[in-house]
Amino acid sequence: MVKSMTGFGRATKEFESFKVTIELKAVNHRYSEFLFRMPKQLAYLEGKLKKTISKQIKRGRMECFFSITGEQISKRALHIDWDLADSYYRFIKQASARYELKDLPTTADLLQEQAYLSIEEEVEASSDLERLVLETLARATERLDEMRSMEGAELLLYFKQHLSAIEKSLEIIQAEIPNTEKYYQEKLETRLQNVVGEQFDPSIVLTEVALLLEKADINEEVERTKSHLKQFYGIILLEEPIGRKLDFLIQEMNREVNTIGSKASSLKITEQVVEMKTTLEKIREQVQNVE
């Protein structure tokens, strides 16, 4: 089925004094990629987090933002860079002796120096917190997938409308093919009349027309393009990631249409080739957003 690779999902869960909020943002990407912004104390969960998301999301770049609050899971700690503090203290003593300073920094002054003093909030991991994080992530992933499916439904309608336009162009081209033989025959007869007058062998005309038609025959390309259209309709109904398959199919259809354009001598066929190429480009742009 058609799913977009872009979307957003958010979920919040609470347990006792724990509260976890997770936001997922998905964008286009050739492969599957994850970016987690979470407390470093939960870094050990990364493998499980990826597995939880991958159950529903097969392709795209995921940005995952974690917000965790609760008195029981956080603590504030004072961190001191003693090496830097010792260097600072030695400098004060040396400067005091060298310049005979009287007003030396007090302990209060030293405690205000943020270069070697910092207060950090740390999250304490626990089995309850781990379960809560995974449950919240699963719910956020479901909501993200729901949005991707909704956008995918719109893409599906878009594809069907444009595929229908290509089908109509192929019908016009096929209806024009019989006129091509008549065009070549009349063109060749006119040239022969201009050169040798009315006295020429009609069999020569038929032979030359047959050769020209063989070089300009586009029936095979038209049939292959129609076959690709049927494949496209079949692929968009598959219950699996289909973006790469559709991208490859669009490339194949472009090749066939370009060949039709290079062989065509009819203005009517050329006009339809231009229309099909324009439509295929529109489809290709949207296929880049399909999972």
The CATH number of the domain where 52 resides is what? 3.30.230
Asked if the structure places residue 244 within a domain, the reply is yes
Phi-psi region of 13 (alpha: psi -120 to 50; beta: other; left: phi over 0): beta
Residues whose CB falls within 8 Å of the CB of residue 6, separated by 6 or more in sequence, listed in order = 26, 27, 28, 60, 148, 151, 289
In this structure, are 192 and 243 located in the same domain? yes
Q: Is the residue at 177 inside a domain? A: yes
**pLDDT higher for 6 or 214?**
6
**Average pLDDT of the residues in 154-171:** 96
Name the percent of the chain lying above pLDDT 90.
Answer: 52
User: What's the confidence (pLDDT) of residue 192?
Assistant: 57
In-domain check, residue 77: no
One domain, residues 239 and 219: yes
Same domain, yes or no: 16 and 42:
yes
pLDDT at position 212 = 61
189 & 271 share domain: yes
Question: Does 279 have pLDDT greater than 60?
Answer: yes
Both 108 and 51 in one domain: the answer is no
34 confidence band (pLDDT: 50, 70, 90): very high
Q: Is the per-residue pLDDT at 17 higher than 90?
A: no
Q: Which of 93, 115, 137 is the last residue of a domain?
A: 115
User: Is there a contact between 161 and 35 (Cβ–Cβ < 8 Å)?
Assistant: no
> In this model, does residue 200 exceed pLDDT 60?
no
Percent of the chain with pLDDT over 70: 77
- Is residue 279 located within the same domain as residue 163? yes
With CA atoms as reference, report the closest residue to 61 among 22, 23, 35.
35
Asked whether residue 109 carries a pLDDT value surpassing 70, the answer given is: no
Q: Give the mean model confidence (pLDDT) for residues 21-46.
A: 91
Cα–Cα distance between 2 and 246 in angstroms, integer?
Answer: 10
Assess whether 201 and 96 both reside in one domain: no
In the predicted structure, residue 129 carries a pLDDT above the cut 80: yes
- Annotate 191-211 with DSSP letters as a single string: HHHHHHTT---HHHHHHHHHH
Average pLDDT over the chain reads: 84
Residue 125: predicted pLDDT: 61
Domain that holds residue 93: 82-115
Domains identified in the chain, total number = 3
Whole-number pLDDT of residue 86? 79
Residues 101 and 52 reside in one and the same domain: no
Please give the Cα distance from 252 to 188 (Å, whole number). Answer: 34
Q: Given pLDDT bands bounded at 50, 70 and 90, which one contains residue 181?
A: low
Please give the C-alpha separations between residue 62 and each of 58, 92, 96, in angstroms, as whole numbers: 11, 51, 57
| Structure tokens that stand for 86 in this block | 């010792």
My answer on whether 18 and 131 are in the same domain is yes
Q: Is residue 18 classed exposed, middle or buried when 0-12, 13-18 and 19+ CB atoms within 10 A define those classes?
A: buried
Widest distance between CA atoms in the chain: 126
Give the pLDDT score at 108. 64
Higher pLDDT, 195 or 61: 61
- Same domain, yes or no, for 96 and 187? no
10 sits in which H/E element: strand 7-15
Specify whether 33 is located in the same domain as 12: yes
In this structure, of 120-124, 128-132, 242-246, 258-262, the range with the lowest mean pLDDT score is: 120-124
User: Is pLDDT at 75 greater than 80 in this prediction?
Assistant: no
For residue 180, being part of any structural domain is answered with yes
Same domain, yes or no: 18 and 134: yes
Q: Looking at residues 197-220, what average pLDDT do you find?
A: 64
Please give the Cα distance from 47 to 230 (Å, whole number).
40
Q: β-strand 32-37 against 18-27: which pairing, if any?
A: unpaired
Report if residue 1 sits inside a domain. Answer: no
Domain assignment present for residue 220? The answer is: yes
Residue 224 pLDDT > 90, yes or no? yes
CA angle 152, 153, 158 (to 5 degrees): 90
Judge whether 230 lies within some domain.
yes
Asked if the structure places residue 2 within a domain, the reply is no
